[in-house]
């Protein structure tokens, strides 16, 4: 029983270890699938901004390729243009197609006309991307001199001022240049991004739609002159949707940037990122997201893995416990039916070797004839022993009596011998006296002879 229990425990531990490893590898595989899905989502924004950058820089390099008359045609449809929002009063159908331009009131009013034609070369691509990918919130071009910007879809002047809480366009644009502390023009500019790579900002709140977004930015250069930045805002809901659509079998997942800021979570209600260290031994998996300094962190606490493993092992555990209980019942049955009666029989055999023979203990019917036989043989043996003891006692008594008789006979014989010896000594004395008298009577003529003494 003990050996079987140890074997069952060893087997159970082996199955537990294999099942736990399988769950961990399954979690790792699921993490890789989420990583690929997140990369695809980020690639959409990254490819979109790269295309805007290529089109804008191409138009700056080759002005002949740009549609230089587009601005003129639009302004002919604009009957009363605003100085800081020159396209705000275009027909609404045109506004939906071309976006909006916002100009700093303190800047040259015509500055945007010299630069807006370059980013408008990507207008068709921008419109197509926004129609296909609802998570792209805004696409825009920011002038490096902070004089103007173009944005798609269009943002009206009134909505922009209301959202930013500013009284004029200069204050509204200052809020946009800061972008929640991410400062897009500086982040992608030559000082902080001399390699001219795409840059992902930290998460910040879009002032118009009040949603959390991240911006992907690409610097735009005309020859070696920093002309501005093109970018797109991607809602964090796009990342959360990926995590929610690909639910993990256990644990949680987070998307974090290099500063540890949580960008998305696999929970419907985002939870804070637990404290590190974020190492596999602590139940963490880390997956780098392509083209960013972000990471996908997957965490499955040891208690969760254990609980999940045990849940999957319930059928095996139930079978093992049932088998163990069945074996225990069988052992108890065998013990009561065979082992205990056999031990009782051995003990009863030892007890029957004494002078007193007890009644057999209550045992199963199968064993009763054996106990009766032992009792019967014990009684027979006791009778034989007692008979032999009686005969021995009788023989000992007879031998003792015979010894006594022999001693008495020997005593009588010795008495008789002593009496005979006395009689012989008396006769000898009488004979000696008679011989002495006879010798004395014969006289001196004849020398008396001395008879030989009789033995005593």
pLDDT at residue 142, as a whole number: 96
Q: What is the pTM of this model?
A: 0.67
Place of tokens 């949580």: 262
pLDDT at residue 277, as a whole number: 74
Furthest CA-CA distance within the chain: 221
DSSP string, 305-348: HHHHHHHHTHHHHHHHHHHHHHHHHHHHHHIIIIIHHHHHHHHH
What SS3 class is residue 171? Answer: helix
Mark the ranges of the chain whose per-residue pLDDT is less than 50.
456
DSSP string, 338-384: IIHHHHHHHHHHHHTTSSS-PPPPP--TTTHHHHHHHHHHHHHHHHH
pLDDT at residue 193, as a whole number: 94
**Which among 36, 37, 38 is positioned nearest to 256, based on CA atoms?**
38
Residues 354, 359, 364, 367, Cα dihedral to 10°: 50
**Which among 114, 25, 38, 3 is positioned nearest to 305, based on CA atoms?**
25
Instruction: Tell me the per-residue pLDDT of 98-149, one tens digit each, with 9 for 90 and over.
Output: 999 999 998 887 778 888 888 988 899 999 999 999 889 999 999 999 999 9
Instruction: Tell me the per-residue pLDDT of 307-330, one tens digit each, with 9 for 90 and over.
Output: 776 776 677 677 777 877 888 888
Q: How far apart are CA 227 and CA 143, in angstroms?
A: 6
- Quote the tokens at residue 42: 């980020």
pLDDT at residue 402, as a whole number: 92
pLDDT at residue 112, as a whole number: 82
Beta strand 199-200 pairing with 262-265: unpaired
What SS3 class is residue 264? Answer: strand
* Angle between the N-to-C axes of helices 302-312 and 314-334, in degrees from 0 to 180, rounded to the nearest 10: 60
Report yes or no: 215 and 184 within 8 Å, Cβ to Cβ.
Answer: yes
Instruction: Tell me the per-residue pLDDT of 192-208, one tens digit each, with 9 for 90 and over.
Output: 999 999 999 999 999 99
**Which among 296, 309, 294, 314 is positioned nearest to 250, based on CA atoms?**
309
pLDDT at residue 443, as a whole number: 67
Q: How far apart are CA 424 and CA 417, in angstroms?
A: 10
DSSP string, 200-263: EPPPEE-TTT--EEEEEEEEEEETTEEEEEEEEEEEHHHHHHHHHHS--SSSEEEEE-TT--EE
50 C-beta neighbours (distance < 10 Å), count: 16
Place of tokens 């023989």: 395
| Domains of the chain, residue spans | 1-302, 313-438+452-456
The CA-CA-CA angle for residues 221, 222, 228, to 5°, reads: 45
Q: How far apart are CA 24 and CA 18, in angstroms?
A: 10
């Amino acid at each position: 029983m003990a050996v079987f229990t140890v074997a069952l425990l060893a087997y159970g531990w082996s199955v537990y270890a294999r099942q736990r490893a399988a769950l961990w590898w399954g979690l790792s595989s699921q993490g890789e699938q989420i990583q690929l899905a997140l990369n695809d989502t980020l690639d959409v924004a990254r490819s979109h901004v790269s295309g805007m950058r290529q089109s804008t820089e191409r138009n700056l390099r080759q002005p002949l390729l740009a549609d230089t008359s587009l601005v003129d045609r639009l302004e002919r449809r604009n009957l009363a243009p605003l100085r800081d929002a020159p396209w705000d009063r275009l027909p609404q159908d045109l506004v939906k197609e071309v976006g909006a331009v916002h100009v700093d009131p303190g800047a040259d009013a015509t500055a945007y006309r010299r630069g807006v034609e370059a980013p408008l070369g990507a207008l068709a691509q921008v419109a197509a991307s926004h129609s296909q990918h609802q998570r792209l919130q805004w696409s825009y071009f920011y002038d490096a001199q902070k004089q103007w910007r173009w944005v798609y879809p269009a943002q009206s002047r009134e909505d922009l001022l209301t959202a930013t809480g500013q009284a004029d366009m200069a204050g509204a644009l200052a809020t946009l240049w800061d972008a929640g502390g991410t400062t897009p023009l500086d982040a992608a500019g030559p000082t902080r991004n001399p390699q001219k790579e795409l840059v992902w900002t930290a998460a910040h709140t879009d002032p118009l739609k009040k949603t959390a977004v991240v911006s992907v930015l690409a610097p735009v250069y005309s020859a070696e002159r920093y002309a501005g930045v093109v970018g797109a805002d991607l809602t964090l809901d796009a990342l959360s949707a990926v995590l929610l659509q690909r639910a993990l079998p256990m644990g949680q997942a987070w998307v974090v940037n290099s500063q540890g800021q949580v960008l998305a979570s696999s929970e419907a209600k985002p939870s804070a990122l637990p404290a590190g260290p974020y190492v596999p031994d602590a139940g963490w998996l880390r997956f780098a997201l392509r083209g960013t300094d972000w990471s996908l962190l997957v965490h499955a606490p040891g208690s969760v893995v254990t609980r999940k493993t045990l849940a999957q092992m319930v059928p095996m555990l139930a079978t093992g416990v049932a088998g163990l209980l069945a074996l225990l019942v069988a052992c108890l049955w065998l013990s009561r039916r065979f082992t205990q009666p056999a031990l009782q029989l051995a003990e009863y055999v030892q007890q029957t070797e004494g002078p007193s023979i007890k009644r057999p203990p209550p045992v199963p019917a199968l064993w009763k004839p054996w106990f009766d036989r032992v009792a019967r043989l014990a009684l027979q043996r006791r009778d034989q022993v007692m008979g032999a003891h009686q005969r021995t006692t009788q023989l000992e008594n007879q031998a003792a009596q015979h010894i006594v008789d022999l001693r008495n006979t020997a005593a009588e014989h010795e008495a008789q011998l002593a009496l005979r010896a006395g009689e012989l000594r008396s006769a000898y004395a009488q004979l000696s006296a008679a011989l002495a008298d006879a010798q004395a009577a014969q006289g001196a003529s004849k020398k008396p002879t001395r008879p030989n003494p009789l033995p005593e």
